Amino acid sequence: MWAALAALVVGQAAFQVTVGAADGVRHLLQVLAPLVMLAAAGITPLAIALTTWLRRGLWAGAPARVPGPRVMEGLVAAGVLALALVPRPADVSVFEPPRHGYARIAATIAEDPALAETVVLVSSDSIGEGATVAEIAMRDRRPQHVVLRGSKVLSSSSWMGEDYQALFSSTAELRDFLERARVELVVLDDMAGVSETPDRQQLRAVLADETQWTATVLAPASVQLFRRRGALPATAPRTPLEIAMPHSWERDIPLPR
């Protein structure tokens, strides 16, 4: 068992080094339990060695006063825990989460009764799209809003971000998709670091039509909320939505509506 736990830790470390998409502390959570078990197992030989070392006269007190290995295990564990929990002065601070505007966008959508049961499209990077979905879900009495991720419905790529391909060849096709998907709100994130991919360029061109879309700029100004002017065309069919997954599933995944 111990060899398997050690192999898991080493394998995860090798995976972190060799796979570029696996960066981030969250990918290390799966080795937390093995590390704790290995650390607990290492306390016993450490306590025995420390007890032997002290009883050989390397401690100034009488040998009889040296605690046994079991007591020493508890002392060693308590000492390690104390060192881990005592913060350095530089580490003592109140965490302030970054404010990118996704919460304000979600609040604007959730608090407006006229926007209930609307379909929202968000175009950002993986962090921005995920944050917007989470913020709306926390405020939503589901099922109300449907949030579509632009990286999934406007383009396709591998898990590593390779083999990118825009799913629409023109702005006219994208405009038709937005009508068939019944999209009434679009969140466009221009935060630094968001790649200006062809699908985002097409979406920006569609939203530039002020006769169809009106923009609301919320703080920070890099995040914009676009709202469709007027009602959707009555003739626009309600098309079943699909997520293109050619690399992992080798097929499209239909979304329940």
Residues 193-242: pLDDT tens digits? Answer: 778 899 999 999 999 998 999 998 776 667 889 999 987 776 555 666 66
Structure tokens at 180: 């068939």
Residues 6 and 131 in one domain: no
Separation of alpha carbons 178 and 166, rounded Å: 15
Q: What is the pLDDT of residues 6-35, one digit of tens each?
A: 888 888 888 877 776 555 667 778 888 888
How far apart (Å, rounded) are the C-alpha atoms in residues 146 and 163? 27
| Contact between residue 167 and residue 211 where contact means Cβ atoms under 8 Å apart | no
Question: To which residue do tokens 């700029």 refer?
Answer: 217
Helices 198-207, 171-180: axis angle to 10 degrees equals 70
User: Does residue 113 have a cis bond before it (omega within 30 degrees)?
Assistant: no
| 142 phi/psi in degrees, rounded to 5 | -70, 150
| Co-location of 76 and 194 in the same domain | no
Percent of the chain topping pLDDT 90 = 19
Out of 59, 91, 123, pick the residue that ends a domain. Answer: 91
Owning domain of residue 63: 2-91
The answer on pLDDT for 106 being more than 80 is: yes
* First-residue to last-residue Cα distance in the chain: 47
Helix (H) or strand (E) holding 47: helix 32-53
Token reading at 124: 């950002």
Answer for the pair 190, 179: CB distance below 8 angstroms, yes or no: no
In the numeric block, which tokens belong to residue 252? 């499209």
What single letter denotes the amino acid at residue 15? F
Residue 60 pLDDT exceeds 80: no
Other CB atoms within a 10 A radius of the CB of residue 75 amount to 13
DSSP state of 256: P
d(CA 57, CA 62) in angstroms, rounded, equals 8
Same domain, 236 and 163: yes
Q: What is the tally of helices (H) and strands (E) in the chain?
A: 8, 9
Q: Is the pLDDT of residue 81 over 90?
A: no
Residue 96 placed within a domain:
no
Residues 129 and 167 in one domain: yes
Which tens digit of pLDDT belongs to each residue from 155-166?
A: 887 766 677 888
Do 164 and 151 form a contact (C-beta atoms < 8 A)?
Answer: no
Q: Which of 38, 65, 91 is the last residue of a domain?
A: 91
Q: How far apart are CA 215 and CA 190, in angstroms?
A: 14
How far apart CA 66 and CA 48 sit, in angstroms, is: 12
Give the CATH number for residue 202.
Answer: 3.40.190
Segment 110-138, tens digit of pLDDT: 888 888 888 999 999 888 899 999 999 99
> Is residue 52 pLDDT above 90, yes or no?
no
| 97 in a structural domain | no
Beta-carbon contacts of residue 196 (< 8 Å; ≥ 6 apart): none
61 within domain boundaries: yes
